[in-house]
Structure 1
Amino acid sequence: MVLKLKDKWLYLKTRVFSRIFANSIFYLLYPILIFFPIKKNKIVVSNFNGKGYGDNAKYICNYLLEAKAPVDIVWLIDKHWVKENGGCPNSVRTVHVRSFQALFEMFTAKIWIDNCRKSFYPPKRANQFYIQTWHAGFTLKQIEKYVETKLPSRYVKTAKKDSQMCDLLLFETSNMIPDVQDTFWYEGETFRNGLPRNDLLVNYDKLIIEKVYSYFNIDSSKKIIMYAPTFRQEYDLEMNNELLSKIIQVYSKTFNQDAVMLIRLHPNDTVNKNRIIGEGLPAGMIDASSYDDMQELLCATDTLVTDYSSTLGEMLIMEKKCFIYAYDYEEYLKDRGLLMDFKELPFPFALTEKELLRSIKDFSASDYVKKVRDFKKEHNIYETGHASQDIGNRILLEMKK
């Protein structure tokens, strides 16, 4: 625990110092930098404020690279915590996220792409185009303006400023949030015709599954169960290894299939991963928190166990087995708030360990698929499979302006 606190303090200290130093240098040189032109073919990407090659931006960039578009892609990574180049292709340049160079790259780029609210950036120039891809896919939790009074005032100020800068907001297709623009304090254009990262869920093949199995050295005869809990803002995530072992046992007996379990923590919980997961995981469990692409994991996953995570939406799209274990449901409702009663979702819902294990034992595939399809139809949940192409072509169009 002491080591974890030291790690967290070091992370915060280096982060704050880097920001202050980079900002100071940038604004000192601003009278000179203003004469540097915008490079029309440059795209600067930030994924979760410094994570590696992933989320929606990965699939947008992949489309552009595969189309051999003449683009200069810069990926901002936290080089204190991300190994090597963060999984970026060789044709993608990487720059430390909180650095003078990052500010310079953004200042001279035509396109900005981010999936979180920007808190470190230079002044946005008149001819720059900012795409906010947002990180949540299937919105069931109250977000942004819905919980404005619960959010830190500093975050609200940052979010409103971010929305003012934004030129295109990507959001899910569902009708869970009827007025997206109002929710995001946003008055600009929206794209609601599928998410780039979910193209893979529609179009994936066995090579993706083989890639995941090979990465974790999983026997091809075994199925993957993934446990992917969401982030708790006001209190800590609890992980019960004994229960997770029971889930594997009950699953194997119910479906007559050997299985392993991947543990996938929320990005905000990875800083505390050692405390949450502990010294090591029991046999049959693998930490997958550092794997760079959640969508690839979902493609290889047979069954998901989660709580309030937006990964529920991905399982809806693929119509795969999913079980909700909401052991802190009432507490989470008070802390965060939900857009609908989770008991109305088409997934088996459990408040206790006993209920969860029973729901796995009693699972009916035919009943489940019918509920999932009815829910998707009612709430307009779909994916086109070509959102990456749509956004990639839009970027190329903006570059010509």
Structure 2
Amino acid sequence: MKKVKDILRKLMLLYKRFLYFLAKLIEKRDDKMVVFESFQGRNISCNPKALYEEMKNNPKYKDYTLVWSLRNPNRTDVKNAVKFESFGYYRALAKAKYWIFNSNPRMFLKPKADQIFVQTWHGTPLKKIGLDVEKQGNALTNKSQMKNIYVEESKKITYMISPSKYCTDKFISAFNMKNVSKENNVLTTGYPRNDYLFKFTKDQCTNIKKELNIPTDKKVVLYAPTFRDNQYSAAEGFKLANYIDFKEAYKELGDDYVILFRAHYFISKKLDVSEYRGFVYDVSSVEDVNTLYAISDMLITDYSSVFFDYANLKRPIVFFMADYDEYKNKTRDFYFDVKELPGPVVFNQQETMAYVKKFIDNFVIDDKYKKFNEKYNYLDGPDVSKKVLDMIIEN
């Protein structure tokens, strides 16, 4: 059965390659066309969304055609959309002058010399990525395959967007940018997606809570763990990593709190929280995580990059790392010591809940938190998107 699936997979890949080849023969370049893609067409979010909105709302780009790649293109909130991996998708890529993506496109998709591929990526890394990973790889790709993916990606990149000097250095090593003489193509600008965190209003927060049916009179805790590379099955995909016992959490926190549970986008199986209705809300399907940052009073995470962005809000963060030893020593490892993180690192739920209650009303930013933002978030602000577009299009 596995051999049959492998054969079918290879045939499908050949078919997609043929469609892209045909599209390149048909289409002529449009210097005022941009294709945006987030997480391989799963949604409209992250840095591509921020750059799209800046172009859509800025009169200087009124003559540009802005196209989204989406797995579900039947949306009313975008004017132009193509179905991910359809013939229309390949035609759009062949025609557009600019590709703005936040993750690795398929390996056979290679922009031509007169096209500009902007790789925004999707977060500042704590856990090692790409060529920097020294462990066995993950459930889908071994170390050798992972290395090849990132090496090939570096050859495509025209510009890569980085939020800090730290991140620039990691991108250069993880993508092997020096090997292709592109270390200067990593633009240290700040992250476009974080513009929103400097512009949202109280009224917007109230409206977001109403849309999600979240009480406006309760304290909101966002719980956003990452996925585990080594926890995968062919039938279910990556398994859910939830280390909080919500029944016990409710006993600790009571009716004054709600928990927003946000699974990583790799997780396909939804968490059943019906037993905790009114206390736990599964917000994994909310398209733009920025809206969840805005309405939450504090964040609980583990190794996810969400805390880098969230720290811009100067709100409390608790790092619940129940499987720290296994994750560090067998799965990914980290770029820096967790002692540098802008919040307490804890290893059990009891400590986690104790910090939630301690911080929710009595949080003061300490020197460690300030130094963290000075190192990792010093370029973020309300107009990074404009700055990035000036660099990649105007110049």
Partner of 2:43: 52
Deviation at 1:338, TM superposition (A): 0.8
| Cα distance in 1, alignment partners of residues 15 and 385 from structure 2 | 36
| Cα distance in 2, alignment partners of residues 328 and 155 from structure 1 | 24
8 A contact 1:248–1:261 mirrored in 2:
no
1:220 has 2:216 as partner: yes
CA change 1:245–1:71 in 2 (3 A) is farther
Partner of 2:18: 24
Partner of 1:375: 372
Q: Match of 2:283, as an amino acid? A: A
Partner of 1:75: 68
Partner of 2:204: 208
Higher mean displacement: 281-290 or 57-66: 281-290
Partner of 2:78: 90
Partner of 1:131: 118
Deviation at 1:65, TM superposition (A): 0.6
Q: Match of 1:130, as an amino acid? A: F
Secondary structure of 1:155's counterpart equals: helix
Q: Match of 2:259, as an amino acid? A: M
Deviation at 1:263, TM superposition (A): 0.9
Gaps of 5+ in 1: 1-11
Match of 1:282 among 267, 276, 286: 276
| Cα distance in 2, alignment partners of residues 74 and 322 from structure 1 | 36
- Structure 2 counterparts to residues 2-401 of structure 1, below 5 A: 19-27=13-21, 29=22, 33-34=24-25, 36-68=27-59, 69=61, 70-79=63-72, 84-85=74-75, 89-91=77-79, 93-119=80-106, 122-136=109-123, 138-147=124-133, 150-151=136-137, 152=142, 153-173=144-164, 175=166, 178=169, 180-186=171-177, 187-188=181-182, 189-235=185-231, 236-240=239-243, 243-248=245-250, 250-251=252-253, 258-269=256-267, 271=268, 273-274=269-270, 277-278=271-272, 280-283=274-277, 284-334=279-329, 335-363=331-359, 365=362, 367-377=364-374, 381-397=378-394
Deviation at 1:373, TM superposition (A): 1.1
8 A contact 2:319–2:345 mirrored in 1:
yes
| Cα distance in 1, alignment partners of residues 156 and 106 from structure 2 | 12
8 A contact 1:325–1:349 mirrored in 2:
yes
Deviation at 1:369, TM superposition (A): 4.0
| Cα distance in 2, alignment partners of residues 240 and 384 from structure 1 | 33
Root mean square deviation, CA, Å:
2.8
Deviation at 1:204, TM superposition (A): 1.6
- When normalised by structure 1's length, the TM-score is 0.83
8 A contact 2:192–2:383 mirrored in 1:
yes
Higher mean displacement: 217-226 or 126-135: 217-226
Q: Match of 1:268, as an amino acid? A: F
CA change 1:25–1:193 in 2 (3 A) is closer
Partner of 1:6: none
Deviation at 1:377, TM superposition (A): 2.9
8 A contact 1:376–1:382 mirrored in 2:
no
Q: Match of 1:52, as an amino acid? A: N
Secondary structure of 1:52's counterpart equals: coil
CA change 1:239–1:18 in 2 (3 A) is same
| Cα distance in 2, alignment partners of residues 317 and 394 from structure 1 | 24
**Deviations 1:157-213, CA, capped at 9 Å, x for gaps:** 122111111011011215366453233211321222210100111222124312320
CA change 1:14–1:135 in 2 (3 A) is farther
Deviation at 1:103, TM superposition (A): 1.1
8 A contact 1:119–1:158 mirrored in 2:
no
Q: Match of 1:391, as an amino acid? A: V
| Cα distance in 1, alignment partners of residues 273 and 214 from structure 2 | 21
Deviation at 1:75, TM superposition (A): 1.0
8 A contact 1:140–1:176 mirrored in 2:
no
| Cα distance in 2, alignment partners of residues 222 and 16 from structure 1 | 52
**Deviations 1:78-117, CA, capped at 9 Å, x for gaps:** 13xx8x42xx7333x1111112221111011100011111
Deviation at 1:359, TM superposition (A): 2.5
Q: Match of 2:126, as an amino acid? A: L
| Cα distance in 2, alignment partners of residues 75 and 375 from structure 1 | 35
CA change 1:233–1:51 in 2 (3 A) is same
| Cα distance in 2, alignment partners of residues 331 and 134 from structure 1 | 26
| Cα distance in 2, alignment partners of residues 226 and 386 from structure 1 | 26
Higher mean displacement: 225-234 or 150-159: 150-159
8 A contact 1:111–1:395 mirrored in 2:
no
| Cα distance in 2, alignment partners of residues 197 and 380 from structure 1 | 12
